[in-house]
A and B are shown apart, each in its own frame.
Chain A
């Protein structure tokens, strides 16, 4: 870690731990190498570029805000670069410009994230909360397209989402856990083949899963082929590789010494896998499952030709078209009718709250404290380096 540390364990004054080392044994962070006054150079360029842009745009015919901000940023880069070049030389100037560009570039990723969530909340939350219980309970079977929002609701779509994703999870979890154990605990030509296939399948476009289930399940069954079950097969195809991959990674960081110890105590292989490895990787596996579910909840395309969507309650996932949240919102938003578009935003809001809740749950599960592991007496604490 610290590469200049030449002391050995028996040299005087060596406690085994480098006092300067960062906590958790992580690599030390580099010191900031800004010379004094750097802040003023930065701020000065920023203000000067802003003033220049304001002055320059006084002579322009139009003053678009986005254009002004872009010019401001470019002007700032030029000024800041030139100033640093003059005062500190080329290397420092390059370094500073790169830092600014990297931070600005990464901020670009944050912008849509905030905007998406804010726009869904702004458009969808009023719809849901102004018709609070009814919007979550009613279906759309009695609401004509031009009817006000209070007549309709998303109850049928919520039921559909829960059933389809639930069924898909039911298929996926056992298969993916077993496959992940297979991939991480054994090593053969077959396991390498499976691993390759899992990796390749991870980017399967959701529409392909939809077509496949249509050809394989819906079409042969004729006109009654659409069902929530068909959608859950499509979802399972999309969830499977993701869950296997994540679970495999989690299982792989379980220390090998733990397995060896169990084997040395005479435990058979299956016991080692099921009673030692899986419980040790518990929180990571839970995260894998929750994330797989969160991804599946939001999938629209696989449901298009499988569940097909329906305006009314269909409790039975095994027969008849069934709605789900993303699909129903999608269909409503494409409608020319403003009331239906508003209902669609409401559906999108429910969807995003569901996904966010799952995301937070995954985070909590992933960072569960060692204290919560106490129940599992046979698992040593903190065996998984996090």
Chain B
């Protein structure tokens, strides 16, 4: 098996050779060993409980101070006598970046998954999986650098074209013709960053499509595309949804690439082509160290929101991927 795709390996892979649950006599050494295993696993539980505890504990002052304004206001003034902590701008920016990332990343990932699973010759498969895995291990710093120094210039023509020809959509309206450092570029870069996880999870699920049904489709004279649309995609639908959710989780939490690319403003910034916009992880990374305790607490609230959202998304994804649909017509 391929072990190269750490975040995704074997979601719901059928286990073929499972030991019968035996209950052999336990020696004392066995009990000690089991206790060690329990302790090690408890560390993981402890970690998540501790993270949640510290985040909640540190969020309380800001919640007391600002209450619901935290998520309903877009005014962010972390210094001065009258501090204001409105996270709405950063929340909207986070969602927009993630949405663009999904729009860019998911089609590419599905193409890559189909190509590797169904179209590529066997000799090329290994190289393609390696390339996707390599995308997964490249540090996010490099993606950020690429977006800042390379992609920003290359995509200029496209963004300008959009702003000229698609300006009837408010999102693409950019009055001053300066581009780059924008939500759009961030979204594209983050979209590239989620390709590995979406590809490997959807590959796993697609590979579970019943081979005999695929071969039957081909044997009846169907085309490969027919096989893909009629057998593989219906079978893998839930799993692909799960893969997309996992990608969404990654896209919401990406920090360094966005921090490098985006010129941050903490108001709602709807012109995705122009510089400006906010994103929660980048907001935290940019300000956390330099502000006073209350503002730290407000930033922790945003981190807590993000963390809980991502945990919920991952949990849902796990539920969805864990049960690939087996119904076939």
Binding site for B on A (CB under 8 A): 1, 3, 22, 26-30, 33, 64, 66-67, 91-92, 94-95, 98-99, 101-106, 108-110, 112-113, 115-117, 119-120, 123, 174-176, 178-179, 181-183, 185-187, 190-191, 193-194, 196-212, 214-216, 237, 240-246, 249-250, 252-253, 255-257, 259-260, 263, 268-270, 273, 284, 287-288, 291-292, 294-295, 297-301, 304-305, 308, 326, 329-330, 333-334, 345, 348, 351-352, 355-356, 358-359, 362-363, 366, 385-386
Please state if B142 and A116 are interface contacts (CB–CB under 8 Å): yes
The total number of A-B Cβ pairs within 8 Å is: 339
Q: Are B224 and A95 in contact (CB under 8 A)?
A: yes
Cβ–Cβ < 8 Å partners of B17 in chain A: 255-257
For residue B328, CB closer than 8 A to chain A, the reply is: no
**B224 contact set on A, CB distance < 8 A:** 30, 33, 95, 98-99
Chain A residues near B34 (CB-CB < 8 A): 186, 269
Question: Are the CB atoms of A112 and B192 closer together than 8 Å?
Answer: yes
| Interface pair A207/B140, CB less than 8 Å apart | no
Question: Is B216's CB under 8 angstroms from A3's CB?
Answer: yes
Docked complex Cα distance between A332 and B6 (Å): 31
Q: Contacting A113 at CB < 8 Å: which of B10, B13, B48, B135?
A: B135
Q: Which residues of B contact A250 (CB under 8 A)?
A: 1, 3
> What separation, in Å, do the CA atoms of A268 and B22 have in the docked complex?
12
Distance from B244 Cβ to chain A, minimum over Cβ atoms (Å): 13
Contact B43 A175 (CB under 8 A): yes
Task: Provide the bound-state CA to CA distance between A38 and B132, in Å.
Answer: 30
By the criterion CB–CB under 8 Å, are A298 and B314 in contact? no
Give every chain A residue within 8 A of B37 (Cβ-Cβ).
178-179, 181-182, 185-186
Report the bound CA distance from A116 to B109 in whole Å.
18
Q: Is the CB of A214 within 8 A of B288?
A: yes
User: B225 is contacted by which of A94, A119, A211, A299 (Cβ under 8 Å)?
Assistant: A94
Cα distance A290–B135 in the bound complex, in angstroms: 16
Residues of chain B contacted by A214 (CB below 8 angstroms): 288
Main secondary structure of the interface of B (DSSP, over half): helix
Asked if A205 meets B281 with Cβ closer than 8 Å, knowing A257-B17, A329-B141, A352-B139, the reply is: yes
Chain A residue contacts of B148, Cβ below 8 A: 333
B30 and A301 within 8 A (CB): no
- Rounded to whole Å, the gap between the CB of A364 and the closest CB of chain B is 12
Contact residues in A for B110 (Cβ distance below 8 Å): 105
| A197-B45, A201-B47, A205-B254 known; A211+B288 contact, CB < 8 A | yes
**B residues 290-311 with Cβ under 8 Å of A?**
299-300, 303, 306-307, 310-311
Note all chain A residues with C-beta closer than 8 A to B157.
Answer: 64, 66-67
| 25 CB-based A-B contacts, threshold 8 Å | A92-B223, A108-B111, A178-B40, A182-B38, A190-B38, A200-B315, A200-B318, A201-B47, A203-B246, A204-B253, A215-B55, A215-B300, A242-B6, A256-B18, A257-B17, A260-B20, A260-B22, A268-B29, A269-B24, A300-B139, A304-B288, A326-B141, A330-B256, A351-B139, A359-B133
Given contact pairs A3-B215, A102-B115, A208-B51, A269 touches B311 in the complex (Cβ within 8 A): no
Beyond A99-B119, A292-B6, whether A326 also contacts B139 by CB under 8 A is: yes
Q: Is the CB of B6 within 8 A of A252?
A: no
Q: Return A289 CB to nearest CB of chain B, in Å.
A: 11
- Most chain B beta carbons < 10 A, residue from A106, A237, A301: A106
Nearest chain A CB to B161 CB, angstrom units:
7
Given contacts A106-B112, A241-B44, A348-B142, contact A212 B161 (CB under 8 A): no
Question: Which residues of chain A are within 8 angstroms of B103 by Cβ–Cβ distance?
Answer: none
Q: In whole angstroms, how far apart are the Cα atoms of A325 and B117 in the complex?
A: 37
- Chain A residues whose CB sits within 8 angstroms of the CB of B119 once the complex forms: 99, 102-103
B145-190 contacts to A (CB < 8 Å): 145-146, 148-151, 154, 157-158, 161
Interface residues of B in 20-75 (CB under 8 A from A): 20-22, 24, 26-27, 29-30, 32-34, 36-41, 43-45, 47-48, 50-51, 54-55, 57-58
The 3 A-B pairs of least Cβ separation, nearest first, read A298-B139, A205-B253, A105-B111
Given contacts A30-B218, A64-B161, A301-B256, 16 further A-B contacts (CB under 8 A): A3-B216, A98-B224, A113-B134, A202-B314, A204-B51, A208-B51, A211-B299, A212-B50, A249-B9, A260-B22, A284-B3, A298-B138, A300-B256, A308-B289, A330-B256, A366-B4
Question: Which of A190, A243, A330 has the largest number of chain B CB atoms within 10 A?
Answer: A330
CA distance A116 to B136 in the complex (A): 13
Partner of A109, one of B55, B192, B216: B192
Chain B residues near A304 (CB-CB < 8 A): 285, 288-289
Contacts of A305 in B (CB 8 A): 288-289
* Inter-chain contacts of A174 with B (CB < 8 A): 40
> Which residues on A sit within 8 Å (CB–CB) of B142?
116, 120, 298, 348, 351-352
B310 near A301 (CB under 8 angstroms)?
no
User: B252 interface residue, CB < 8 Å from A?
Assistant: yes
- With a CB–CB cut-off of 8 A, which chain B residues contact A98? 224-225, 228
A106 to B122 CA separation, bound complex (whole angstroms): 16
Let me know if A105 and B4 touch, CB within 8 A.
no
Shortest A1–chain B CB gap in Å is 7
On whether the beta carbons of A196 and B315 are closer than 8 Å, the reply is yes
A295 CB contact (under 8 Å) in B6, B50, B225, B250: B6
Write out the residue numbers on chain B whose beta carbons fall within 8 Å of the beta carbon of A94: 223, 225
